[in-house]
Chains A and B, each alone.
Chain A
Amino acid sequence: MINKLVSLNNKKHMLIGASLIRITLGFIILYNYIIHYHQRSFLWGPNGITGFSETSLENITLFSLYNFSTSSLYFDLIYHLGMIVALSFLVGYKGKVTSILNFIFVWSIMARNSLILDGGDNISRIILFYLLFAKTTAYFSVDSYLKNKRKGSKETTEISVNHFSLRNLVHNLAILACLTQVSIMYLSSGFHKASGEMWQNGTAIYYILQVDEFSHPFFREILHSSDLFLVLATLMTVIIQLAFPFLLFNRYTRYLAMFGVISMHSGIAVVMGLISFSFLMIANQLLFLSDKEYKSLSSYVKQKYISTSTRLNVRKVRNTLPVSARSSLRPIVVLYDGWCPFCMKSIKRFQRLDWFNRMEFLSFRDKKVLEHYQLDIELLEKRMHSLQRSTQKIEDGIDSINRICKNTPLLWVVVPCLSISSTLGVGAKVYDWIASRRTIFPTGGCDESSCEIPVKKRPE
């Protein structure tokens, strides 16, 4: 057990998540500085709402850089320095020093005026403290860019050493602290809600939406019209919050927990208008994916991007070609039986629905087609085939039908059904049953004396 824990410490974990949360926190801190720029003196200044009076000076207990002088010039200096530090934090310049300075500046501004703070500010302040001990500039930062530049093209690989690394431990504990803190937050909030009468009877959201500060007339009207939604949303909020820490232990339930929390906060952002609160809460979720998960996500996105750009390029090239040549560059090729009236009728229907010209329908009875694609005629006679040009993937039978449907917006509704039937094997059987009973009339392929009619081969 201990050995396993020690081996877990062989590397720094969640480096990408830590870098992403640095960027998002830096962004929202900078956003708050900028959006309140004209009200800065009123909100935090010496003559503002929490300004210094003789009595308040005595009562100051919290440290703040803004408390050292009552001069407006000094206030502006600290405010603008805070902005510069937040920007450096966002871009990841001089990671360690900047994160300490940024924490001090953020703490100072929050300590000056607590009236406009919310749970999002509270959690971000605590997380900023834990992140002082974590490496947050490993990715997407000026520091990492400069480091790579210094090393030139030399490839660096992380070598896992047998030595126990305190640096790794401090980083890993800091990240774990952030995760634990977020979990405690949801659990605590869930418990408090579960003990409230309005949350128990499912009316809390109905009442909250009546408060002008936390609603919008448009959404209030829509949501108030459905008792079912109001009660479900209230109960789901409690369940999502209470379940969050327990769902983290399994990879797939973790995705569910993250999805639940992100949906909840997106709802809060749109309906209740708590923008920075929701943004910060969703940003916290960035820490819940490992580097490995981020890397596979990134390669998936890259793959999608490449296939989309290939498709776009194909379209671009196609548009520059004469109309007759365009069809040959469509992403999907469907090889059907041109001697089967039923098939031709179906293909004509599919062609009509192919709004985006994604499919090219070719009869394999055309010898040129057969030569070009070099597929076994017997297999083609048995099942309709389709080919994806980008991946060269060939599908047949029910999968071909499914491929056509996937490329036909009007038929998207049947895709799940076809996919399931294909997985279960039922789809293929039904397809074969229909295909084997189709009538074939040879056309075009006959010469004057004879026609080649495919017949079912009997087992010898």
Chain B
Amino acid sequence: MNAFILYRDSEEKTIDFYLNESRDKEAAKVFMKKYLVAFHKPHVITVDKNLTYPLAIQEAEGTNYNEVIEMWKKVVGGFLCLLFVIHFSVTAVHNTHANPLQVKYNKQLSFYIDPLFTQNWRLFAPTPMTSNNYFYVKAKLDNGNESRTTDWIDLVQYMYEKNNDNRFTPYNKLIRIPRGAYALIGEKDETVRKILNKVNEGELDEEEYEHLIENERDKLTEEKAIDLLNKFAEAHLISFFPENEIVEFKVLLVESEPVPFSKNGTENFENAEKYREFDWTKPQGIIPLF
């Protein structure tokens, strides 16, 4: 049995030893490997005259270097896995139905999720849209000689028909614009809506949830929604009357309620209708739709 012995220079005290059948390169490598880790590598190694030692030390150093890289890779890998778990935990909580956890950390959740991971998977839930929104526009036109006011011109029904004839046309997405724009009015996150209800009922402190209430923002959103509707109508008018100057115009919304399930199949059922007439507005120089 042969022995490798490691001394410390100054005190000549034995630090470690290793017993092995042979004193060859492989045995030397095994013994030296743990002392060649980058953090506490010795400055000088003094060896006897066996020629295999320098080679063994060189190789052991290489192995250790790879092991260090390997270790760091595993640390980074572990960190990535942890990040993955955290990311999807936050995403999962963000996507749950309104609950106390979501209410409490609403601000933090939104800060993390928006805008890169913004998502909403309600998809026709909990209450799907059931009514038909028909939009019309009326315009005051001037062709240089005389001015006239048009009748109410349909803005969406012709699109529905074209979309029904062929689903692979731009109408497939264009039909979403007016409803999407109008839906901005009063659109609020489900959690925020619940908080507002509780604030109104006096269950929650108004000051604490001020950042969610912001009536000023609602007003701006409504203005934006109406502006979008007007632009949609204007793009149509420019396409319909390219020769005329559009002096001003206004949009009408007719909301037609659905036939209740109990009345399914009833002939000549008259759907209840609601109307909303928007204010006269001036054109903004929008590009024609067609």
Q: Which residues of A contact B (CB under 8 A)?
A: 9, 32, 35-36, 38-39, 41-42, 45, 47-51, 53, 56, 59, 61-62, 114-116, 118-119, 122-123, 126, 129, 163-166, 169-170, 173, 176-177, 180-181, 184-189, 191-193, 195-199, 203-204, 206-208, 210-213, 216-217, 224-225, 227, 273, 275-276
B-side contacts of A181, CB under 8 Å: 88, 91
A sample of 8 cross-chain residue pairs with beta-carbon separation below 8 angstroms, ordered by A number, consists of A39-B289, A115-B176, A119-B120, A181-B91, A207-B261, A213-B175, A227-B264, A276-B172
In angstroms, Cα B231 to Cα A56, docked, is: 14
Contact of A184 among B88, B115, B169 (CB under 8 A): B88
Decide: A48 and B172 in contact? CB cutoff 8 A.
Answer: no
Contact with A along B168-203 (1 / 0, CB 8 A): 111011111101110000000000000000000000
Decide: A188 and B95 in contact? CB cutoff 8 A.
Answer: yes
Contacting residues of chain B (235-290) with chain A, CB-CB under 8 angstroms:
235, 258-259, 261, 264-265, 284-290
Chain B residues bordering chain A, tally (CB within 8 A) = 68
A51 and B231 contact, Cβ closer than 8 Å, known pairs A115-B176, A192-B122: yes
Decide: B264 and A176 in contact? CB cutoff 8 A.
Answer: no
In angstroms, Cα B18 to Cα A8, docked, is: 37
B42 at the binding interface (Cβ < 8 Å):
no
A-side contacts of B77, CB under 8 Å: 9, 164, 166, 169
A213 and B286 contact, Cβ closer than 8 Å, known pairs A184-B95, A199-B126: no
A166 and B73 contact, Cβ closer than 8 Å, known pairs A116-B176, A193-B126: yes
A-side contacts of B73, CB under 8 Å: 163-166
Decide: A47 and B285 in contact? CB cutoff 8 A.
Answer: yes
B97 at the binding interface (Cβ < 8 Å):
yes
Contact of A170 among B80, B97, B172, B220 (CB under 8 A): B80
A-side contacts of B24, CB under 8 Å: none
Nearest CB in chain B: distance from A116 CB, A: 4
- CB nearest neighbor in B for A202: B261
B100 at the binding interface (Cβ < 8 Å):
no
Decide: B170 and A38 in contact? CB cutoff 8 A.
Answer: yes
Nearest CB in chain A: distance from B236 CB, A: 10
Decide: A189 and B127 in contact? CB cutoff 8 A.
Answer: no
A212 and B132 contact, Cβ closer than 8 Å, known pairs A35-B170, A166-B73, A273-B172: yes
In angstroms, Cα B224 to Cα A217, docked, is: 33
Nearest CB in chain B: distance from A109 CB, A: 12
B-side contacts of A192, CB under 8 Å: 97, 121-123, 125-126
In angstroms, Cα B119 to Cα A48, docked, is: 25
Nearest CB in chain A: distance from B285 CB, A: 6
Contact of A193 among B96, B125, B261 (CB under 8 A): B125
- CB nearest neighbor in A for B173: A116
Decide: B91 and A184 in contact? CB cutoff 8 A.
Answer: yes
B107 at the binding interface (Cβ < 8 Å):
no
A-side contacts of B119, CB under 8 Å: 122-123, 126, 185
B-side contacts of A47, CB under 8 Å: 285-287
Contact of A189 among B70, B123, B132, B264 (CB under 8 A): B123
Nearest CB in chain B: distance from A203 CB, A: 5
User: Of B231, B259, B285, which is in contact with the most chain A CB atoms at under 10 Å from its CB?
Assistant: B231
In angstroms, Cα B288 to Cα A203, docked, is: 40
B143 at the binding interface (Cβ < 8 Å):
no
User: Of A115, A118, A185, A273, which is in contact with the most chain B CB atoms at under 10 Å from its CB?
Assistant: A115
A49 and B97 contact, Cβ closer than 8 Å, known pairs A176-B84, A211-B130: no
A-side contacts of B289, CB under 8 Å: 39, 42
Contact of A49 among B157, B164, B220, B231 (CB under 8 A): B231
Known contacts A35-B168, A193-B123, A275-B172, then 19 further A-B pairs from the complex at CB < 8 Å, ordered by chain A residue: A39-B174, A39-B289, A42-B287, A42-B289, A45-B287, A47-B286, A115-B180, A116-B174, A169-B80, A188-B122, A189-B122, A195-B125, A207-B258, A208-B129, A211-B129, A211-B130, A213-B160, A213-B175, A225-B265
B86 at the binding interface (Cβ < 8 Å):
no
B74 at the binding interface (Cβ < 8 Å):
yes
User: Of B131, B173, B174, B258, which is in contact with the most chain A CB atoms at under 10 Å from its CB?
Assistant: B173
Nearest CB in chain A: distance from B266 CB, A: 11
Decide: A49 and B74 in contact? CB cutoff 8 A.
Answer: no
In angstroms, Cα B126 to Cα A196, docked, is: 4
Decide: A49 and B123 in contact? CB cutoff 8 A.
Answer: no
In angstroms, Cα B169 to Cα A193, docked, is: 30
- CB nearest neighbor in B for A170: B80
- CB nearest neighbor in A for B262: A203
Decide: B84 and A173 in contact? CB cutoff 8 A.
Answer: yes
Contact of A213 among B122, B126, B176 (CB under 8 A): B176
Nearest CB in chain B: distance from A152 CB, A: 31
The 8 closest A-B pairs by CB, nearest first: A196-B126, A188-B95, A192-B125, A193-B125, A115-B180, A207-B130, A188-B121, A210-B258
Contact of A206 among B87, B95, B174, B261 (CB under 8 A): B261
Decide: A116 and B127 in contact? CB cutoff 8 A.
Answer: no
Decide: B160 and A212 in contact? CB cutoff 8 A.
Answer: yes
- CB nearest neighbor in B for A113: B177
Decide: A49 and B124 in contact? CB cutoff 8 A.
Answer: no
Decide: A217 and B164 in contact? CB cutoff 8 A.
Answer: yes
B-side contacts of A36, CB under 8 Å: 170, 173
B-side contacts of A199, CB under 8 Å: 125-126, 128
In angstroms, Cα B173 to Cα A285, docked, is: 23
Contact of B164 among A203, A216, A276 (CB under 8 A): A216
B55 at the binding interface (Cβ < 8 Å):
no
Nearest CB in chain B: distance from A210 CB, A: 4
Contact of B120 among A122, A169, A184 (CB under 8 A): A122
- CB nearest neighbor in A for B95: A188
User: Of B76, B95, B97, B124, which is in contact with the most chain A CB atoms at under 10 Å from its CB?
Assistant: B124
Nearest CB in chain B: distance from A196 CB, A: 3
In angstroms, Cα B261 to Cα A207, docked, is: 8
In angstroms, Cα B287 to Cα A192, docked, is: 39
B81 at the binding interface (Cβ < 8 Å):
yes
- CB nearest neighbor in B for A5: B81
Decide: B167 and A191 in contact? CB cutoff 8 A.
Answer: no
Decide: B81 and A119 in contact? CB cutoff 8 A.
Answer: no
A119 and B287 contact, Cβ closer than 8 Å, known pairs A198-B128, A207-B258, A210-B258: no
Decide: A196 and B128 in contact? CB cutoff 8 A.
Answer: yes
In angstroms, Cα B19 to Cα A103, docked, is: 61
Decide: B125 and A189 in contact? CB cutoff 8 A.
Answer: yes
B1 at the binding interface (Cβ < 8 Å):
no
B-side contacts of A45, CB under 8 Å: 287
Nearest CB in chain A: distance from B97 CB, A: 5
B-side contacts of A169, CB under 8 Å: 77, 80-81
User: Of A39, A176, A204, A212, which is in contact with the most chain B CB atoms at under 10 Å from its CB?
Assistant: A212
